[in-house]
Amino acid sequence: MNREMYCPFCKKDFKMEEKPFHWGEGVVALGFECPKCGEFLLTEKEHRKAVRTASNRSMLTLSRKMFKLGRSLAVRIPLDIAQKLHLKPKQTVELYTNAGTIIVKPN
Ligand SMILES: [Zn+2]
């Protein structure tokens, strides 16, 4: 199903095709992929459903797409996770890398 959706990153409406998004560990949500930046946008209902499934399974990891921010790469932390861990904007975090993984540890 095609639908006109607003991409908050491109700040523009696009016609987007609905498709399944695999969050990881078998959690699938229906959403829309922005044709310009590639960000995957979920409706609020699908987002809540996926988060509920993930938290029922005590999952700590969800698949997210990185995006360019200046010369760096950035990843968005879903609001549910930010609230669960009491994360606030401008709070500092420590980054650890080991064996191809990154751990983000709030201070
Ligand atoms: Zn976009």
Same domain, 8 and 58: yes
- What gap in Å lies between CA 42 and CA 63, rounded to an integer? 13
Going from the Cα of 57 to the center of ligand 1, the distance in angstroms, rounded, reads 30
Same domain, 9 and 59: yes
Going from the Cα of 100 to the center of ligand 1, the distance in angstroms, rounded, reads 28
Structural domains counted in the chain: 2
Going from the Cα of 41 to the center of ligand 1, the distance in angstroms, rounded, reads 9
- What gap in Å lies between CA 30 and CA 21, rounded to an integer? 6
Going from the Cα of 56 to the center of ligand 1, the distance in angstroms, rounded, reads 30
55, 71 in Cβ contact below 8 A?
no
Q: 12-16, 23-27, 34-38, 78-82: which range is least confident on average?
A: 23-27
Where in the sequence is the domain holding 36, given as residue range(s)?
2-63
Same domain, 57 and 97: no
Nearest by Cα to 63 from 96, 27, 89, 19: 27
Same domain, 6 and 55: yes
- What gap in Å lies between CA 107 and CA 79, rounded to an integer? 18
Same domain, 17 and 53: yes
* Average pLDDT score, the chain: 83
- What gap in Å lies between CA 60 and CA 81, rounded to an integer? 9
* 69 domain residue, yes or no: no
Q: Which amino acid is at 46?
A: E
Same domain, 40 and 84: no
Q: Would you say residue 60 has pLDDT above 70? A: no
* 7 domain residue, yes or no: yes
Going from the Cα of 93 to the center of ligand 1, the distance in angstroms, rounded, reads 27
- Give the side-chain half-sphere CA count within 13 A for 33: 8
Same domain, 56 and 82: no
